[in-house]
């Protein structure tokens, strides 16, 4: 796949655990790929700004937070949900970094770590925090809540773009029946989408996302992953 939107930049300021929070069991999503999926979803979207972005398997909110920092001109609201309450606590902390106040708090924490441990890694984290804080030009509203994405999702807003890195493999399995699980996920998402909502799902190559209520707008393969972009067919 040729990258159209994800710049070939050095994204190490966003390394999990450096400025953004991370816990054991959290997966790392490649920043360039996240940016590419968002860019392509936005290209398919009729709405080009004031975007409400939702991730129904948000984990620790890494993907959402990075997209928030990198798309300050287009995203105004971020919503994340996950089945795992511990992950949601981290998602909340990560998404709180999307404000000057949140970054000030994080820099204070990093400053205390530098004072206590005199570690080079903490000095590097502070430098990354200074760089990331400079990206903030707007206040992105955010909300996280617990939900099983294979059942009912209770949100009171139709998201403009949904991006999810769905569970796969040994690290993060679906808490649900494996059989045609992504088709089932699309059934749930159907209820919360408008006819304009664009959905980008990232999965491993073996997974299949088919659902007669959605049209496939695009499919791309990237290493071990693929992503597929959908919109409601009716």
* Binding span for ligand SAM by CB under 6 A among 42-50, 166-174, 204-212, 222-230: 166-174
- Find, among 212, 148, 140, 156, the residue nearest to 180 by Cα: 212
The residue among 33 and 198 lying less far from ligand SAM, judged by its C-beta, is 33
Which residues share a beta bridge with 19? Answer: none
Q: How far is the CB of 167 from ligand SAM (least distance, A)?
A: 4
Q: Which of 70, 132, 140, 150 binds ligand SAM (CB under 6 A)?
A: 150
At residue 113, the 3 state secondary structure works out as helix
Q: HSE of 43 in the Cβ direction (CA atoms, 13 Å)?
A: 12
What is the DSSP pairing of strand 214-222 with strand 225-232?
Answer: antiparallel
User: Binding residue for ligand SAM (CB under 6 A) from 19, 20, 31, 63?
Assistant: 63
Give the β-pairing of 214-222 and 198-204.
Answer: unpaired
124, 148, 196, 218: which one contacts ligand SAM (CB under 6 A)? 148
**162 and 55 Cβ atoms separated by less than 8 Å:** yes
Q: Is 58 in the site for ligand SAM (CB under 6 A)?
A: yes
Q: Is 59 in the site for ligand SAM (CB under 6 A)?
A: yes
* Spatial distance between the Cα atoms of 231 and 234, rounded to a whole number of angstroms: 9
Q: Give the tokens for residue 113.
A: 């770590």
Q: Which is nearer to ligand SAM, 48 or 151 (CB)?
A: 151
For residue 226, CA distances in Å to 37, 102, 193, 220 come to 10, 33, 22, 6
Closest chain position to ligand SAM (CB) = 59
Part of the chain binding ligand SAM (CB under 6 A), chosen from 7-15, 79-87, 107-115, 209-217:
79-87
Distance of CA 68 to the CA centre of its chain: 9
Count residues near ligand SAM (CB under 6 A): 24
The answer to whether residue 87 forms part of the interface with ligand SAM (CB under 6 A) is: yes
Does 187 bind ligand SAM (CB under 6 A)? Our answer is: no
Which chain residues interact with ligand SAM by CB under 6 A?
Answer: 26-27, 29, 55, 57-63, 82-84, 87, 148-150, 165, 167, 172, 174-176
């Amino acid at each position: 796949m040729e990258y159209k939107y994800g710049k070939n930049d050095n994204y190490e300021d966003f390394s999990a655990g450096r400025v953004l929070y991370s816990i054991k069991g959290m997966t790392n999503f490649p920043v360039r790929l996240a940016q590419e999926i968002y860019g392509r979803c936005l290209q398919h979207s009729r709405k080009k700004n004031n975007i409400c972005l939702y991730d129904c398997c948000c984990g620790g909110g890494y993907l959402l937070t990075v997209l928030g920092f990198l798309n300050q001109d287009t995203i105004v609201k971020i919503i994340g949900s996950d089945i795992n309450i511990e992950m949601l606590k981290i998602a909340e902390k990560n998404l709180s970094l999307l404000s000057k106040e949140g970054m000030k708090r994080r820099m204070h924490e990093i400053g205390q770590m530098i004072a206590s441990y005199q570690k080079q890694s903490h000095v590097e984290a502070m430098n990354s925090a200074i760089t990331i804080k400079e990206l903030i030009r707007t206040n992105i509203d955010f909300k996280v809540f617990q939900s099983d994405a294979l059942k009912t999702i209770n949100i009171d807003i139709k998201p403009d773009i949904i991006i999810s890195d769905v569970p796969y493999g040994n690290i993060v399995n679906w808490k649900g029946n494996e059989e045609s699980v992504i088709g089932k996920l699309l059934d749930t998402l159907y209820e919360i989408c408008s006819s304009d909502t664009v959905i980008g799902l990232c999965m491993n190559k073996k997974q299949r996302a088919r659902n007669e209520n959605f049209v496939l707008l695009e499919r791309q393969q990237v290493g071990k992953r693929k992503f597929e972009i959908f919109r409601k067919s009716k």
